[in-house]
Amino acid sequence: MTTLWSGLSDGALYTLVGVGYNVVLLASGVFNFANAQLIMLGTYLAYFAAVTLKLPLVPTILIGALAVSLVAVVEERVAIRPLMGRRDSHATLITSVGVAVALDGIVLRIWGSQPLTVPAPLSSKPLNLLGGTIEPTALLLIVLVVVLGLGLHVLSKKTIVGLASLASAEDREAAMARGVNVRMLAIGAFALAGLIAGAFGVVVGSGTYANPGLGDNLALFGFVAIAIGGSGSQIGSLIGGFATGIIYAEVSRYTNADWPQIVVFALFLLILLTRPRGLFGGAVERQV
Write the CB contacts of 276 (distance below 8 Å, at least 6 apart in sequence).
Answer: none
User: Does the pLDDT at position 284 exceed 50?
Assistant: no
Q: How many whole angstroms separate alpha carbon 86 and alpha carbon 100?
A: 22
Lowest mean pLDDT among 4-8, 254-258, 280-284: 280-284
User: Does the pLDDT at position 135 exceed 80?
Assistant: yes
pLDDT for 248 equals: 87
Q: How many whole angstroms separate alpha carbon 74 and alpha carbon 254?
A: 45
Q: Exposure string (b/e) for 18-46, b if CB count within 10 Å is 16 or more?
A: bbbbbbbbbbbbbbbbbbbbbbbbbbbbb
Comparison of pLDDT for 198 and 26, the residue scoring more = 198
pLDDT for 283 equals: 44
Is 72:194 a contact under the CB 8 Å cutoff?
yes
Average pLDDT, the chain: 85
Is 99:75 a contact under the CB 8 Å cutoff?
yes
Is 34:97 a contact under the CB 8 Å cutoff?
yes
Neighbours of 259 (CB within 10 A): 14
pLDDT for 204 equals: 94
226 half-sphere exposure, CB direction, 13 A CA radius: 25
| Helix residue ranges per DSSP H, 82-213 | 91-111, 136-158, 160-170, 172-177, 182-199, 201-208
Q: How many whole angstroms separate alpha carbon 39 and alpha carbon 37?
A: 5
What are residue 116's DSSP bridge partners?
A: 210
pLDDT tens, residue by residue, 55-109: 999 999 999 999 999 999 999 999 888 887 665 557 888 899 999 999 999 999 9
Comparison of pLDDT for 214 and 87, the residue scoring more = 214
Stated pTM of the model? 0.89
Is 142:9 a contact under the CB 8 Å cutoff?
yes
pLDDT tens, residue by residue, 163-201: 777 666 666 666 666 667 777 888 889 999 999 999 999
Is 94:25 a contact under the CB 8 Å cutoff?
no
Q: How many whole angstroms separate alpha carbon 223 and alpha carbon 114?
A: 26
